[in-house]
Amino acid sequence: DAGITQSPRHKVTETGTPVTLRCHQTENHRYMYWYRQDPGHGLRLIHYSYGVKDTDKGEVSDGYSVSRSKTEDFLLTLESATSSQTSVYFCAISDRAGLYNEQFFGPGTRLTVL
């Protein structure tokens, strides 16, 4: 299994508070991704990174920001959490783009915003 950890695994927070989720990898993969998974929507890409300090938006990036200061860590921040951001968040890594952009996923973080 690819070495990916996410922290925290579970979090309950209140509307309006900032939240940061961490993804840590030990595989030295170049690409890292943040997804959210909601019933009826499958997995949707929030932001991704193609190198240290190189990030770009996905399809549902509003209300989220990311940072990647070193290869192994990719942080997802909800600046002011809202109830619509209640979801399960997955981090994924990949060592290549193109046809074989095969991604390895972390165990997920379940976030509840009250």
- CA separation (Å) from 51 to 19, 34, 57? 23, 14, 14
* Least distance from other proteins to the Cβ atom of residue 35, Å: 8
Per CB under 8 A, 63 contacts other proteins: no
Per CB under 8 A, 56 contacts other proteins: yes
Handedness of CA 97, 46, 77, 21 (dihedral sign): negative
Q: How far apart are CA 86 and CA 24, in angstroms?
A: 22
* Contact (CB, 8 A) for 35 and 47: no
Among 13, 20, 103, 112, binds other proteins (CB under 8 A): 103
Q: How far apart are CA 103 and CA 48, in angstroms?
A: 12
**Interface pattern 11-50 for other proteins (x via CB under 8 A):** ----------------------x-x----xxxxxx--x-x
Per CB under 8 A, 53 contacts other proteins: no
Q: Taking contact as CB under 8 A, which single stretch among the options 19-27, 53-61, 67-75, 78-86 is the one that binds other proteins? A: 53-61
* 3-class secondary structure, 98: helix
Per CB under 8 A, 101 contacts other proteins: yes
Summarize as ranges the residues that interact with other proteins (CB under 8 A).
Answer: 4, 33, 35, 40-45, 48, 50, 56, 58-59, 90, 92, 97-108
